[in-house]
Structure 1
């Protein structure tokens, strides 16, 4: 019986976390978590932090599209 209660509690907690994640994503509150993880990476894992900034710069760059006259 104790196992059933434990599993039911675990399911409730995981469902609550999934609901909270979807709610935060809809409201746009996910950027705070990303900022906190970036701060953690900066403090403890510097190579991951540098990679994070490189990926952000790549995402922000616009790809140059050539004109039809270049052919």
Structure 2
């Protein structure tokens, strides 16, 4: 994706391999975009990029839901 390539070039020296740094930069950039800007980015994606983006998003959301359910469910012991 061209947008990611541009962001990477712009911030290349700021990444130290720490996921938190990458997350902070990406979230900061996306927060500055309008809904239309974000939809334009999606429009530029090819089918594989779109599939990967949605799959990654859905997997992460499902993981969070499972984790929340695990936190809310009392543990039961079976004898």
The normalised TM-score by structure 2 is 0.37
Larger of the two Rg values belongs to structure: 1
For CA contacts below 8 A with separation 6 or more, give which structure has more relative contact order.
Answer: 2
Higher percent of residues as helix: 1
